[in-house]
Chains A and B, each alone.
Chain A
Amino acid sequence: MSSPKANLEILPRGVQIALGLGLVALLAFPWVGTDFYTQMVTRMLIMAIFAMSLDLLQGVTGLVSLGHAAYFGLAGYALAFLMPQDAAVSLWWTLPVAVLASALAALIIGFFVVRTHGIYFIMVTMAFAQMVFFLFFDNKILGGSDGLYINFKPSAQVFGFTLFDLENKITFYYVTLVLALLVYVFLRRLLWSPLGRALSGIRINEHRMKAMGFGTFGYKLTAFTIAGGLAGLAGYLWGAQSGFVNPELMGFHMSAHAIMMVILGGMGNFAGAFVGAFTFEYVLHVLKDLPTLQMFGKDINLGKHWQLWMGTFIVLVVIFAPRGLMGLAERFLQKREYPKGNSK
């Protein structure tokens, strides 16, 4: 993890082509897929934004946050508070407000957590997320354990003219796709910017970065805040799409799922997080939908025990593919490109 090459910051040609084909498939999907699957892929795109935002911390900066879901959920709640019971509220100001709310929370919590290292960082991010979780869980005014409903989709009106209608599922899909691509492009640019280079430097050797005169605290806090804001973007979309928010969105399982998505794809290049989010959500869908089998004279519903399969899947990935799908792809491609082993 600490070696610079391990992250595959420059994507091999083969992976680039595969990503391009994937993009074409995503653009064409609503014409092929049913309503159900279009919504599912929308959900995957939202999770991809969430996973990419975490990758900025986990893969690029080397900060493993086990509380990233807090910022995801906060923006969803922000939308729920801003949306009146009887009318749709404008997208144009609620989206920035929700994203800023998440970024602000990340800035405040980040102020405490980025001064810690390694395992402390893991534990402290988790504890602070839990604090946010209980704030919403314990207070009836904030929705309590049941959460809140969002009755309408945000409206995208400009001077009384509806630019696009988010109530339409296919429109929602394309808006989410465009936002996910923008986030990807933004983060890829950021990766190669001076800020991104400094963050990579912090992952590889923070002491040396300090010795070179970089104020690493400020850099890490900046990364934490940006990641929190982008997680907020994903949370806003999640709230808008599903029409409700509950404390589970900020829970420990959500945070751990995001880590898993980033690992599953491959860290530090954002494409991996994108692919990982799709794979993880798909695996989750398949496992929850497993059939009921006749075994030992009893009906055994395999889907009901999805946690068992999910747990086993996670353990197997950690044991056998700790560098994720991108790592596997890289190994496969390298063998193909340099068959005689003269790559040195």
Chain B
Amino acid sequence: MDFPTFLIQLLNSVQYGLLLFMLAAGLTLIFGIMGVVNLAHGSFYMLGAYLAYWLSTLMGSLTLAIIVGIALAVLFGLALEWLLFRHFYERDHLDQVLLTFGLIYIFEELRSILWGDDVHGVTIPEALSASIPLTDNLSYPVYRLFMSAVCIALALGLYWLIAKTRLGMKIRAGAFNRDMTEALGINIKLIHAVVFALGVGLAAVAGMIASPISSVYPNMGSQVLIMCFVVVVIGGIGSVRGALISALLVGLADTFGKVLLPSMSGMLVYMLMAAVLLWKPEGLFKA
């Protein structure tokens, strides 16, 4: 592997890892703070991608579509939390697994009714459609760099929100001791709703910005969900920092696995997970 190819693969793996992080962060936060296993998290990614497709054909601009799409996704998250999830925070994991599995069926069918079962493409905005030439015949698309930049910006924003703001302090307090936080007069239900909507929003943004390069297709949520599970398990459930590091690891393993060991690529990530579990059964960073 020569240097330009290596560089392209490295950039791809970082971009994939960061995208996984956007989903895994929401998943791990929702588990860490509310104690909910959310199998339907992949559906929010799918929702984002379909919103991007639908709104961008409707409004003619992906940027505009993303802004409106985020608002719609967050509203959807809040409604879902209020209607269903809120009543399952104290329930057994088994019930949560089944509830969210049922939701996957519902969301998939609604997607099929609303937008059909065809594969759709989303066009990259004019300003980001260029490629940076690396050698005579190799180049790297600007849009992928843009995706990574958006993910990094959101990751930093998330860090700032949780570590530096008053709201973040309340979120951390709620995760640490729910009853005590409530006794101090903090509206924990509101905090939970915010965290849930944040998770849905992050997943939807990931789906939206990924839609031009991955295209939009049925069941796109399930595949990414399982990868996110692996990321969360390796990183340690509830740990956002662990999710970031493990998402990058998984991105590297998956991308380079496809190039170096194509026949094993599907399994490589799971072997990485098995190795981590043998070494640290509770993930790299125990929350």
Contact = CB atoms under 8 A, between A and B. Distances in A.
Interface of A: 1, 58, 64, 66, 112-113, 115-116, 118-120, 122-124, 126-128, 130-131, 134-135, 137-139, 252, 256, 259-260, 263, 305, 307-308, 310-315, 317-319, 322
Contact of A311 (B92, B103, B229, B230): B103
B270 interface: yes
A307 B277 contact: no
Contact of B98 (A1, A135, A259): A259
B265 to A, nearest CB: 8
Given A118-B93, A259-B98, A315 B109 contact: no
Contacts of B98: 256, 259-260, 263, 314, 317-318
B32 to A, nearest CB: 10
A115 B94 contact: no
Contact of A112 (B106, B230, B274): B274
Contacts of B206: none
A127 B228 CA distance: 10
Interface in B225-254: 226, 229-230, 232-233, 237
A165 to B, nearest CB: 39
B277 A64 contact: no
A127 B113 contact: no
A311 B93 contact: no
3 A-B pairs with least C-beta separation: A311-B105, A314-B102, A134-B266
Most buried by B among A116, A135, A307: A307
Nearest to B273: A127
A252 B226 CA distance: 9
Given A112-B274, A131-B271, A138-B265, 14 more contacts: A64-B97, A116-B282, A120-B282, A120-B283, A123-B233, A124-B273, A127-B229, A135-B266, A256-B39, A307-B105, A312-B102, A315-B106, A318-B98, A319-B99
B270 A305 contact: no
Given A134-B267, A308-B110, A64 B94 contact: yes
A256 B101 contact: yes
B97 A122 contact: yes
Contacts, number: 122
Interface string B199-234: 000000000000000000000001000100110110
Contact of A314 (B84, B101, B233, B266): B101
A301 B102 CA distance: 21
Contacts of B108: 307
Given A64-B97, A259-B97, A120 B233 contact: yes
A260 B98 CA distance: 7
B281 interface: yes
B105 A128 contact: no
Contact of A123 (B222, B229, B267): B229
Contact of A126 (B104, B109, B229, B277): B229
B281 A116 contact: yes
Contacts of A139: 263
Contacts of A113: 277
Given A135-B266, A305-B109, A308-B109, A119 B229 contact: no
Interface in B87-144: 87, 91-95, 97-99, 101-110, 112-113
Contacts of A115: 277, 281
Contacts of A307: 105-106, 108-109, 112
A106 B222 CA distance: 24
B110 A315 contact: no
Interface string B169-206: 00000000000000000000000000000000000000
15 contacts: A115-B277, A115-B281, A119-B37, A123-B37, A127-B226, A131-B271, A259-B101, A263-B94, A305-B112, A307-B106, A307-B109, A308-B105, A311-B106, A312-B106, A318-B99
A116 B277 contact: yes
Contact of A315 (B31, B92, B102, B113): B102
A139 B264 CA distance: 9
B260 interface: no
Contacts of A138: 263, 265-266
B278 interface: yes
Most buried by B among A119, A135, A139, A308: A119
A130 B42 CA distance: 15
Nearest to A310: B105
Nearest to B229: A123
A318 B48 CA distance: 27
Contacts of B105: 307-308, 310-311, 314
Contacts of B267: 131, 134-135
A123 B266 contact: no
Contact of B106 (A66, A135, A308): A308
Contacts of A127: 226, 229-230, 233, 270, 273
Contact of A119 (B84, B93, B222): B93
A122 B37 contact: yes
Contacts of B110: 308
A310 B102 CA distance: 7
A83 B229 CA distance: 36
Contacts of A256: 39, 97-98, 101
B93 A64 contact: yes
